[in-house]
Amino acid sequence: MCGRYRIKDTDVLTEHLRASFGIPDWVMTPRYNIAPSQDLPVITMSDEGHAAVRTMRWGLVPFWDKSAKPKLAPINAQAEKVVTNGMFRRAVQTHRCLVPADGFYEWLRLDEKTKVPFDIHFRDRRPFYMAGLYEPATPERPATYAVLTTSANELMARIHNRMPAILNLAAAKRWLKPGAVTEGDVATLTAPPPADEMEANPVSSLVNSPRHDVPECIVPVAFTPPPCQGELF
């Protein structure tokens, strides 16, 4: 799954958005511990082919829920099921988006009481785009979105069996392009990135609380894997 991510190098992301999507400069405060239910930037494309940054709330409310206090607001959607799942199948055809980030967090479970957080990112520290779906704003609430997840690559499989669906630039542009997609299209676009391009650093439990949105969240810490996981990292 993907329950936390970060956007710390906002200047780098701004340059990337301008060069790759023609999006004018936008201002954002660096974020080190993004959590569900927060209002965050996503990238959408109009029918005319113009990309733009919009603010949406993380946690997709299905289109049929018109209440002010929705009962369902999933933060993730499994890429393998979005074309057929009733909650997402309309959005995947009409409301696809990109969720920018430059790292995400996942927790390695050591036992029933112990989990170790890891900061996962590309080795070259480049920004990336996660496949997303959204539902437009209503009179009761803002636009909402979910991040797609896919099977883990070899690096992530040592921590968790799922990871966010990170798209290369060509796949990101295809994902944004208006028009229908098939199950095969989604599977191809959301295939996990090469494990050797990524790294996972253990970080402190500071990141466990969304109240902590500070640079210290991504500072690596020492971690000695248990004997049975000696080959982990």
Return d(Cα 210, Cα 203) in angstroms, integer. Answer: 14
Return d(Cα 226, Cα 116) in angstroms, integer. Answer: 12
Residues assigned a catalytic role: 2, 106
Q: Which string of DSSP letters, residue by residue, matches 187-230?
A: HHHTPPPPGGGEEEEEB-GGGGSTT--SGGGG-B------GGGT
Q: How far is CA 30 from CA 15, 40, 41, 67, in A?
A: 15, 11, 12, 33
